[in-house]
Amino acid sequence: MNAYLFLRYPKMKVYIETLGCQMNRLDSELLVTLLQNRSHEIITARKSADVILYNTCSIRQHAEDKIYSRLGMDAKRKADGKEIIVGVLGCMVQREGVDLARRYSAVDILCSPGQLHKLPDMIDQATAADGLVTSFDPSRTQKHSHETKEQIARDAEAMDVVDASRDPEVMCETSQGFVRIMRGCDNFCTYCIVPFVRGPERSRRPEAITAEVRKLVDSGRSEITLIGQTVNSYKHKNGEATTRFSELLAMLAPIEGLRRLRFVTSHPVDFTADILQVMRDFSNICPYIHVPAQSGSGKILKAMNRGYTLQQYDDLITAARETIPNVVIVSDFIVGFPGETEQDHEASKDLIRRSEFKNSFIFKYSPRPGTISAKKLDDDVPEEVKKRRNNELLTVQKEVALKHHQQYVGQTVEVLVTGLSKRSRKQAPSSGPDGTVQLMGRTTGDHIVIFDAPAALTGKYVNVEITDANDLNLFGELCKTR
Ligand code: SF4
């Protein structure tokens, strides 16, 4: 680097704290590359940082409270004379706007989720002069203006450039890689803040996605997960030509060296038959789908504005099992949505039982400021009822999950070894007489498999014979031949 560049971009120690979903984790990973390209050093000790960045989440109050508390601490350190630049990034920024900086004086930078490619320049600006530096995504109310459409197109292009230029060397040290294919959401489920904070749906160019997957595979990532807010609603238009999600999968699956291709999270409405057929036709597309149901009651689905009936959801599960016999299905549920009766709650239990989900992520409803349900619906299910329903749904899901996992006992499954098991990580891993430790890995259906083997197998594919199972994990023995 020449002296001019060095002066222009002073090397800083940057600490990044990430909350929320996989999209946020990938955003932070991209930021690491962008900042390292500017010679900044990424550090893990917050106390030693020159720049502190919070990549935030607005889905739950708890995640926001954590950031408020951090900002309070940063304000105190600044008042004590510590020179730091504090940046808040992501969903909270889009939801709260400049109010966030008005309430928390420590904040120097506000950057919305779609503007993260500008962050290195924003840090330079904040270093050069006092005052708040901001970059916001276009708001939903402006989305039809010509100027806003142009900005959305520019941001989608930036997403291509920034995502695809990511340096695989700074990514996780396993064989797994993550590729964002779209941003935003146009669905407006009544309880959800995402369409307001992550903006309208924008899909990346298929050529840019293909190039990025190739690059990751060439660098040793043999399992790629495509991610998007509603990943299967991916649709890229180029003049008259449209690339749909199933076509994108069919373009990516033949890439040499790509052993597993997955995608999360899907919306039931967009899970069309062509996607199931492509999954069936390519053996390296994992037979795993995460399709949140949210409720087993048609009445509640309507109030949530989910866009499908219970019958349509049931039909999707039936079609998935008919097309891909070994498919593994995972769901999400919200309990205690406004107006949910005991009958509606029983309907959710029934849906879990008949759909035989491998697991379900179950959440208690709480109104999030800015959402449609918070504005228009009365949060009328008492907290203790929500708690009870949450526990009941968890119990039903546990029973179903145990049965699901037990069907693998006696089978041999292919496992990508991801590293030490939780137990081995907690204790200092003690090796067995032949140098083995307890490892964990994942099947194509995303089952967690625990087994003893040499740690050197991390990142490799092995066969494991399943000898036992509980509601969360499979347990087995390493097969001698791979
Ligand atoms: S599909 Fe619904 S729940 Fe999912 S991100 Fe969009 S609005 Fe939120």
| Domain parsing of the chain, residue ranges | 3-137, 146-404, 412-478
The whole-number pLDDT of residue 430 equals 64
Residue found by looking up tokens 């390296």 in the block: 284
CA 1: distance to chain centroid?
Answer: 35
Q: In this structure, which residue's CA is closest to atom 8 in ligand 1?
A: 192
Closest-CA residue to 105 (of 83, 62, 75, 131): 75
Closest-CA residue to 307 (of 233, 242, 397): 233
The whole-number pLDDT of residue 37 equals 84
Kindly report the length of the chain. Answer: 482
The whole-number pLDDT of residue 364 equals 96
- Which residues form ligand 1's pocket by a CB distance below 6 Å? 185, 187-189, 192, 194-195, 229-230, 267
The whole-number pLDDT of residue 154 equals 63
What distance in angstroms lies between residue 239's CA and the mean position of ligand 1's atoms? 28
Task: Ligand 1 pocket test: pick from 22, 24, 182, 229 the residue with the most ligand atoms within 8 Å of its Cβ.
Answer: 229
pTM for this entry: 0.86
- The arrangement of secondary structure in 146-404, i.e. its CATH architecture, is Alpha-Beta Horseshoe (3.80)
DSSP label at 29? H
Count each helix (H run) and each strand (E run) in the chain, helices first: 17, 21
Quick check: 150 and 144 in contact, CB under 8 A?
no
The whole-number pLDDT of residue 426 equals 74
Quick check: 455 and 424 in contact, CB under 8 A?
no
The minimum-distance atom of ligand 1 relative to the CA of 305 is 2
The minimum-distance atom of ligand 1 relative to the CA of 265 is 4
For residue 354, give both structure tokens: 């008949």
Question: 3-class DSSP state for residue 470?
Answer: coil
CA–CA distance from 413 to each of 6, 46, 324 (Å)?
52, 42, 17
φ, ψ dihedrals at 298, nearest 5°: -60, -35
Task: Ligand 1 pocket test: pick from 187, 305, 337 the residue with the most ligand atoms within 8 Å of its Cβ.
Answer: 187
How many CA atoms does the CB half-sphere of 1 hold within 13 Å?
A: 14
CATH class of residue range 412-478: mainly beta
Task: Ligand 1 pocket test: pick from 230, 231, 264, 368 the residue with the most ligand atoms within 8 Å of its Cβ.
Answer: 230
CA–CA distance from 327 to each of 232, 305, 415, 470 (Å)?
17, 27, 16, 19
Quick check: 201 and 184 in contact, CB under 8 A?
yes
Beta strands in 342-435 (DSSP E): 359-364, 412-420
**Averaged in consecutive runs of 10 residues, what is the pLDDT profile of the chain (482 residues)?**
47 91 84 87 92 90 90 92 93 89 93 88 89 83 56 62 56 74 93 88 92 92 94 94 97 98 97 98 98 98 98 98 98 98 98 98 93 96 98 98 98 95 75 81 98 93 98 95 59
Helix (H) or strand (E) holding 375: helix 372-376
Q: In this structure, which residue's CA is closest to atom 2 in ligand 1?
A: 189
CATH class of residue range 3-137: alpha beta
The whole-number pLDDT of residue 158 equals 63
